[in-house]
């Protein structure tokens, strides 16, 4: 029997290559942007190639627009000895997250940074970030020895991470989220939590027990064995809160490693957008 070709099937066949090309382009675009911006420190070149002029900025220290970002960041990145070491890169649809160690001023301890970008029609159109100064003597961006090669099963890890986020943030079930999805010997890069799953659970319960504490998810990314959540956390009704990014590494369907960064929300901002 010959297959039946309908107008719908013809349309889907025509659309599929374009959808696939867009996904591939986003990864290629972000990879090139990251190389130009962080590795080559060519701020003007990276922005000219990949950032929309009316770029929406959520960093409270910068106004909107690509031009002003280049004017402010260009001299910082060009300083002799400035260093930007990318640790992780997640690309999920139209969102990308760059996790890095940034040292814009030589001689300082630098900062752990999460930059989040939104793409539209092949251009970066929006940016959020979280910057946490590195405490002297600590190494919150350290990485464990490399695991088996391969990016991992994004679909499988997305299903697990969505359930983990639902339990932890929507239902507030810290024990359930961590017992189901986190390995007992969790590798922890937050020096306040200690190593292992039990230390993380105790620390998180302590934060969530504060009267008026809220934790509101803004966006979630999953890419291979890596997953990230960006959220706003407050510990009281009067607290302006903090922007937080947590990054998790999966192995065989369980979370085995964790990094995080947080930045308090300032009183004022140079743009009209919140940090979220």
**Tell me: the pLDDT tens digits for 64-106?**
999 999 999 999 999 999 999 999 999 999 999 999 999 988 7
Task: Assess contact for 97 and 86: CB atoms under 8 A.
Answer: no
- Are residues 216 and 102 located together in one domain of the fold? no
Residue 195: pLDDT above 50?
Answer: yes
**Total domain count, the chain:** 2
**Tell me: the pLDDT tens digits for 234-259?**
998 888 899 999 999 999 999 999 99
Pairwise pLDDT comparison (208 vs 147), residue with the higher score: 208
- Are residues 128 and 173 located together in one domain of the fold? no
Range of the domain at 15: 7-133
Q: What average pLDDT is seen over the chain?
A: 89
104 C-beta neighbours (distance < 10 Å), count: 17
- Are residues 158 and 259 located together in one domain of the fold? yes
Residues 6+ apart with CB under 8 A from 248: 161, 226, 227, 228, 255, 257, 258
CATH of the domain at 213: 3.10.450.50
**Tell me: the pLDDT tens digits for 217-233?**
999 999 999 999 999 99
Using pLDDT thresholds of 50, 70 and 90, give the confidence band for residue 17. Answer: very low
- Are residues 159 and 128 located together in one domain of the fold? no
Reference 259, options 102, 88, 103, 82; nearest CA is 88
Instruction: Tell me, yes or no, whether 141 lies in a domain.
Output: no
- Are residues 119 and 211 located together in one domain of the fold? no
Instruction: Tell me, yes or no, whether 228 lies in a domain.
Output: yes
């Amino acid at each position: 029997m010959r297959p039946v070709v309908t107008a719908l099937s013809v349309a889907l066949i025509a659309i599929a290559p374009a959808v696939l090309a867009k996904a591939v382009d986003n990864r290629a675009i972000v990879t090139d942007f990251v190389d130009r911006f962080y590795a080559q420190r060519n701020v003007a070149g990276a922005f000219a190639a990949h950032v929309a002029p009316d770029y929406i900025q959520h960093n409270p220290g910068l106004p909107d627009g690509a031009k002003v970002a280049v004017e402010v960041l260009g001299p910082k990145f060009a300083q002799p000895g400035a260093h930007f070491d990318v640790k992780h890169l997640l690309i999920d649809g139209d969102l990308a997250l760059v996790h890095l160690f940034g040292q814009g001023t030589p001689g300082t301890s630098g900062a752990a940074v999460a930059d989040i970008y939104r793409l539209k029609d092949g251009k970066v159109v929006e940016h959020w970030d979280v910057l946490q100064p590195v405490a002297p003597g600590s190494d919150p961006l350290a990485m464990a020895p490399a695991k088996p090669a391969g990016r991992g099963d994004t679909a499988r890890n997305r299903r697990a991470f969505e359930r983990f986020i639902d339990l932890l943030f929507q239902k507030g079930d810290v024990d359930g989220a961590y017992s189901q999805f986190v390995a007992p010997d969790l590798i922890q890069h937050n020096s306040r939590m200690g190593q292992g799953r039990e230390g993380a659970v105790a620390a998180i319960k302590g934060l969530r027990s504060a009267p008026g504490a809220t934790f509101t998810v803004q966006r979630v990314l999953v890419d291979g064995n890596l997953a990230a959540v960006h959220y706003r956390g407050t510990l009281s009704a009067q607290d302006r809160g903090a922007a937080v990014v947590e990054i998790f590494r999966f192995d065989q369907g369980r979370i085995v490693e964790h990094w995080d960064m947080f930045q308090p929300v300032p009183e004022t901002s140079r743009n009209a957008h919140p940090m979220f």
